[in-house]
């Protein structure tokens, strides 16, 4: 009997989908493109088809339940008994002492945690499914389990009932008003939308808008020192959010910190696109965005080169621009001397928790939605990111606002997080498909952007990289791969900061230090584990190390540049007008 290289046996194409698979995929694409139910059903079917593994999992759960029965009996008799299942270290739902001190509520907590932990473990370890499908099914299961936690229901939440008694019912009355407020806002609010005003108590560092086009406003900040470094710093912010995360207030502002250290700082404030910008492409963000920002800053300071910084998707754009510029101008004539990346992905093979939203069906559904409006609404994207951390970013506020009747905290980072922006249809569809879905940025000459084939290996400029230990949007181990994809001759200094995607960057020096960081210079093919083993751990903020690194590379001290000049007159005061657009 001979084989068949075409994948056929006796005239049957065994590579094609079965009618059942075809129907299942069609139904998934039509009514459940994000796999909310289909992924969980697939996991359940997979377990039923693996009875031995199911029996072992059931045996492990029964062991927990047996231990839990013993724990309940001891608590019922008034005896001390250690919890059978401990909440995860970052799970604050059961932090109130009543969940441990009261036997009744301790039992409620323990039953919930026992089933939650075992079910999540089961879905993560589902036999017969791909890793991605296991993670997706576990993701949706976790969100469902988070939703039905006892802390989210008044009659199962002793803290809420105690609060009701203490306030003579005022807490629930106030909670009902907050519920109506959020219904009107069509969102579970995390911060009072009236708590801050951009330009008054946020984004207050003095500066001028010195350039404006349809894509961005470029802000140049007033000097605060008698002399400044000759070479300017250009910061390319993410257009997924507004720029002032780097200029929240005087104590947290990276912009103010840099100006106070004697640097001339320019920053991008991106236009909040509407339907008229539906056809704006990634190419336009490169040519009319970062390339123009570099040109203006260079001409403004009469310096041939700048230091270029990119944050998140702004860093992905900066990486693309550097590859583009090295090919367009040649290594020596690139108008960027060196560069910095904050929590930036260039290799999207493992992009973190957001991967559950990245496949053909999800991207196709988003493309259809964007085609109708011309953009992706910022609240839709914000909701997706909140679901990645639904306990602290959704259900925490459900409990605090509706069950406890507590007012929203005036937290500037949360205010910025809720100040959502839109994504142009053409750009975002291209970004999702070519970067996330196909991971083409790291493939040599696979992408052609703004007339040049993109090869990250063309980048030879020295690089400073900052990542965050708890970053679930740009995982640091994936960000580390920038060392592998840029040119081996490019020196790289790599930082791993404690905290997450935002607070790992918005990380000013304070005394005593709140955070720490690891720092070292990886070689091209060094694994992250080897780098981490030899990296130096330091208490405090990486800002200080970065400023020292910049100081060695940004030229001599010169007379400070004015916020605006004759060639680039002030078009308005910072923070400009684009940042105010809703």
Query: How far apart are alpha carbons 452 and 330 in whole angstroms?
Result: 12
For residue 484, give the nearest of 444, 515, 533, 446 by alpha carbon.
444
Query: How far apart are alpha carbons 504 and 466 in whole angstroms?
Result: 9
- Biggest CA–CA distance in the chain, Å, is 87
Q: Six-digit token pair at 513?
A: 């230090």
| Catalytic residue check, 362 | no
- What are the beta bridge partners of residue 538? 517
Q: Six-digit token pair at 285?
A: 């963000």
Q: Is 455 helix (H, G, I), strand (E, B) or coil?
A: coil
Decide: 469 and 499 in contact? Cβ < 8 Å. yes
Decide: 151 and 400 in contact? Cβ < 8 Å. no
Query: How far apart are alpha carbons 44 and 28 in whole angstroms?
Result: 16
Query: Distance between alpha carbon 565 and the CA centroid of its chain, in Å?
Result: 37
For residue 490, give the nearest of 341, 373, 281 by alpha carbon.
341
Decide: 461 and 339 in contact? Cβ < 8 Å. yes
Give per-residue burial for 191-214: e unless 16+ CB within 10 Å, then b.
bbeebbebbeebbbbebbbbbbee
Q: Six-digit token pair at 235?
A: 């910061």
Decide: 230 and 303 in contact? Cβ < 8 Å. yes
Q: How many CB atoms lie within 10 A of CB 147?
A: 13
Residues 301, 312, 362, 479: which is the catalytic one?
312
Give per-residue burial for 115-125: e unless 16+ CB within 10 Å, then b.
ebbbbeebbbe
Length of the chain: 582
Q: How many CB atoms lie within 10 A of CB 66?
A: 11
Catalytic residues: 312
């Amino acid at each position: 009997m001979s084989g068949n290289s075409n994948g056929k046996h006796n005239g049957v194409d065994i590579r094609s989908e079965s009618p059942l698979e075809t129907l299942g995929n069609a139904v998934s694409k039509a009514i459940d493109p994000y796999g909310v139910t289909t992924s969980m059903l697939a996991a359940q079917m997979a377990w039923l088809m693996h009875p031995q593994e199911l029996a072992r999992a059931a045996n492990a759960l029964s062991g927990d339940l047996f231990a839990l029965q013993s724990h309940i009996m001891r608590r019922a008799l008034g005896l001390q008994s250690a919890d059978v299942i401990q909440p995860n270290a970052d799970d604050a739902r059961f932090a109130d002492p009543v969940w441990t001190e009261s036997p009744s509520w301790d039992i409620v907590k323990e039953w919930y945690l026992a089933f939650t932990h075992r079910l999540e473990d089961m879905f993560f370890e589902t036999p017969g499914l791909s890793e991605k499908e296991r993670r997706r099914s576990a993701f949706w299961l976790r969100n469902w389990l988070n939703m039905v936690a006892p802390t989210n229901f008044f009659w199962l939440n002793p803290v809420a009932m105690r609060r009701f008694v203490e306030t003579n019912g005022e807490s629930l009355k106030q909670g009902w008003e907050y519920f109506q407020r959020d219904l009107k806002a069509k969102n579970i609010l995390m911060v009072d939308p009236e708590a801050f005003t951009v330009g008054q108590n946020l984004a207050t560092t003095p500066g001028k808008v010195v350039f404006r086009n349809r894509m961005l406003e470029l802000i140049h900040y007033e000097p605060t020192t008698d002399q400044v470094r000759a070479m300017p710093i250009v910061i390319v912010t993410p257009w997924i959010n507004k720029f002032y995360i780097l200029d929240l207030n005087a104590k947290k502002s990276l912009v103010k910190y840099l100006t106070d250290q004697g640097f001339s700082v320019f920053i991008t404030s991106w236009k909040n696109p509407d339907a008229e910008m539906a056809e704006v492409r990634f190419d336009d963000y490169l040519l009319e965005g970062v390339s123009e920002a570099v040109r203006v800053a260079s001409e403004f300071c009469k310096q041939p080169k700048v230091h270029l910084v990119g944050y998140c998707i702004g860093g992905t754009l900066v990486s693309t621009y550097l590859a583009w510029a090295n090919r367009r101008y040649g290594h020596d004539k690139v108008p960027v001397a060196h560069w910095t990346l904050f929590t930036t992905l260039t290799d999207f093979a493992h992009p973190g928790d957001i991967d559950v939203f990245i496949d053909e069906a999800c991207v196709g559904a988003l493309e259809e939605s964007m085609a109708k409006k011309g953009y992706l609404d910022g609240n839709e994207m914000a909701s997706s990111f909140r679901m990645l951390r639904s306990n602290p970013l959704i259900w925490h506020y459900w409990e605090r606002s509706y069950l406890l009747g507590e007012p929203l905290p005036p937290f500037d980072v949360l205010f910025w997080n809720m100040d959502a922006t839109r994504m142009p249809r053409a750009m975002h569809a291209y970004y999702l498909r070519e970067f996330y879905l196909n991971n083409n940025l790291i493939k040599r000459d696979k992408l052609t952007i703004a007339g040049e084939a993109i090869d990250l290996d063309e980048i030879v400029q020295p690089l400073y990289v900052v990542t965050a230990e708890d970053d679930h949007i740009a995982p640091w181990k994936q960000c580390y791969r920038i060392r592998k994809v840029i040119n081996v001759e490019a020196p790289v200094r790599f930082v791993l900061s404690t905290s997450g995607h935002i607070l790992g960057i918005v990380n000013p020096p304070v005394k005593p230090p709140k955070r720490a960081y690891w720092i070292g210079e990886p070689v091209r093919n060094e694994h992250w584990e080897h780098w981490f083993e030899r990296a130096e751990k330091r208490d405090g903020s990486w800002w200080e190390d970065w400023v020292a690194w910049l100081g060695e590379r940004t030229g001599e001290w010169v007379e400070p540049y004015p916020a605006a000049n004759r060639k680039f007159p002030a078009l308005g005061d910072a923070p400009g007008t684009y940042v105010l657009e809703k």
